[in-house]
Chain A
């Protein structure tokens, strides 16, 4: 017979106490696991939303108007193209792509269009319709986005296609937004003359329902020449890792480019971000509550258990069990209770998260197995903390007095 065997036999002998002993800690762990599981998916959803948007940080000259994120580059004052080099050489982590732009409203014949200069190797083909238009390019290497396997495991479709860059756009070719093409009456292969520059229409983009439909996209250097704005740009679109943005990438960018206005599309998912923050705070609150209530609950249970087992403990002491042995048995019992509570709590919490979570975040929620050892460890730690005092008291019982208590 081993001491652990004695503990286990005693637990089995008092099953109802076993259930009541682990109940509080089980429920606490279940709530934490459920909230955390949903929060993780929700945060991932925000990250994917942001990452899937392509460029999610916009760098504009200080005087630019940022009322409309997507049209902020139009008619914005210019800034030196050298700003791009500053960002590149800064080596900021989380900056996955930088695409400078120069944009102006121009008149072509009787029609107003928006002329946008882009650098083909850096311009993110961030819109699915661009892909549908056949603008296939090199895949962008991102620092933090989920790979296709992870996307699929979370139930998302693989969005990597949207993160390809337009690889080739010669300086004498252009892409036309759908409404611009309609207004100008141009089709693919036609020629478009702007001032003294003639461009061949390489592709007419499908309708996006955004300001991009009215744009004419061509090479940045071509636009700089047309507008006489050599080495000037009106905006830099930065594709930043969502986590890096949360960790303060904007501040770091502001340090690198102090004379600019830097904004993000974070407002698009601000509600979800706020919800995530709330859930994180709730999770933390529950953690504190579980630490306290769980320890008190286990401590109370162990205290009652010690009182009930005074005679048994007295027998063990009578037979020569050292005090350390009594401490060890009671702490082992608490550890078993904690591990059981943690494991059951993990299962209950995961079940609640997978069944109810999708209603909160609109995404499938999967079991996070990494939480199992964390839940068990935390629960065992709480149980041990709660059991220390009762175990100490039990070890100091006098066998001859407990033997007389019948």
Chain B
């Protein structure tokens, strides 16, 4: 078991009435599985992803990453958890605009304290893997949208995370690019035996997961059996 939530709740205070974005989510993620999360807008799927990534503190419930109680960690502990175990791929690519592709990928490595040579070598390796070796010195604005998302994926992989959290990674892409990016993510996940959770609106993208989780009003309402068997464990 890589990650487990029990009774996970997140309540947002609002002027008129509080909003329960998560209302008791129980979820278990095994090593090497690919879980897709679907649900209508405002159902709580992105909130679940943020909570799993240590980006917001749950109002109630527990999140365990192996033996690490994520729900109990302070800001420093959560930063360390993200730095060492999590790779994020966001809808908006999240690249620093004035840094080259290579230097964007070097950020998580720099935060982990690797020396400059190691940062550069590993950044080059992952950029080569996402077929952007020739674009390492390009700024984000000099890259196409698909290339920018590949840089974001490369950055998510740079620190060799245990868990990839992807929030609508193809939300801004056309169908051809969407297929290309999803194929890349799937290839990388399988070759690196990564655990991945992907929030998506797209049924086609959701169908790629070993396991599909559907959320409505902050609750998992349907947990189909894995449609792809033989997940690496």
Q: Which residues of A contact B (CB under 8 A)?
A: 1-3, 6, 9-10, 12-14, 311-312, 314-323, 325, 398-400, 403, 406
Contact = CB atoms under 8 A, between A and B. Distances in A.
Interface in B100-145: 103, 106-108, 110-112, 116, 119
Q: Identify the 9 closest CB pairs spanning chains A and B, nearest first.
A: A320-B83, A13-B98, A320-B82, A1-B106, A322-B79, A1-B110, A400-B55, A400-B50, A319-B108
Contacts of A406: 92
B164 interface: no
Interface centre among A1, A319, A323, A398 (most CB of B within 10 A): A319
Contacts of B112: 320
Contacts of A319: 82-83, 88, 107-108, 111, 155
A6 B92 CA distance: 21
B82 A323 contact: no
A10 B112 CA distance: 21
Contacts of B86: 320
Interface residues of B, number: 32
B94 A1 contact: no
Interface string B62-105: 00000000000001100111111010101010111111000100
Contact of A398 (B56, B76, B98, B106): B56
Contacts of A322: 75-76, 79-80
Nearest to A315: B94
Contacts of A320: 79-84, 86, 108, 111-112
A319 B53 CA distance: 10
B75 A323 contact: yes
B42 to A, nearest CB: 13
Contacts of B81: 320
A312 B55 contact: no
Contact of B79 (A2, A312, A321): A321
Given A312-B96, A399-B55, A403-B94, A318 B88 contact: yes
A2 B94 contact: no
Classify the interface of chain A: helix, strand, loop or mixed: helix
Contacts of A400: 50, 55-56
Given A312-B96, A400-B50, 17 more contacts: A1-B103, A1-B106, A1-B107, A6-B99, A9-B103, A10-B98, A13-B97, A13-B98, A312-B97, A316-B107, A318-B82, A320-B84, A320-B111, A322-B80, A323-B75, A398-B55, A399-B55
A315 B96 contact: yes
A319 to B, nearest CB: 5
Contacts of B108: 319-320
A2 B98 contact: no
A10 B139 CA distance: 13
Classify the interface of chain B: helix, strand, loop or mixed: helix
A317 B53 CA distance: 12
Contact of A1 (B83, B84, B116): B116
11 contacts: A1-B119, A2-B110, A13-B98, A312-B96, A318-B55, A320-B79, A321-B79, A321-B111, A398-B56, A403-B94, A406-B92
A329 to B, nearest CB: 11
Contacts of A14: 98
Given A317-B79, A319-B107, A325-B111, A403 B92 contact: yes
Given A10-B98, A323-B75, A403-B90, A3 B83 contact: no
B12 to A, nearest CB: 11
Nearest to A314: B94
A368 B155 CA distance: 50
Contacts of B107: 1, 6, 315-316, 319
Contacts of A314: 94
Nearest to B88: A318
Contacts of A2: 110, 116
Nearest to A319: B108
Contacts of A9: 98-99, 103
Contacts of A321: 79, 83, 111
A312 to B, nearest CB: 5
A316 B56 CA distance: 15
B50 A323 contact: no
Contacts of A317: 79
A323 B96 contact: no
Nearest to B100: A9
Contacts of B56: 398, 400
Contacts of A12: 98
Contacts of B98: 9-10, 12-14
Nearest to B93: A315
Contacts of B53: 318
B38 to A, nearest CB: 20
Contacts of B50: 400
Nearest to B152: A315
Nearest to B83: A320
B149 to A, nearest CB: 14
Contacts of A1: 103, 106-107, 110, 116, 119
A320 B80 CA distance: 6
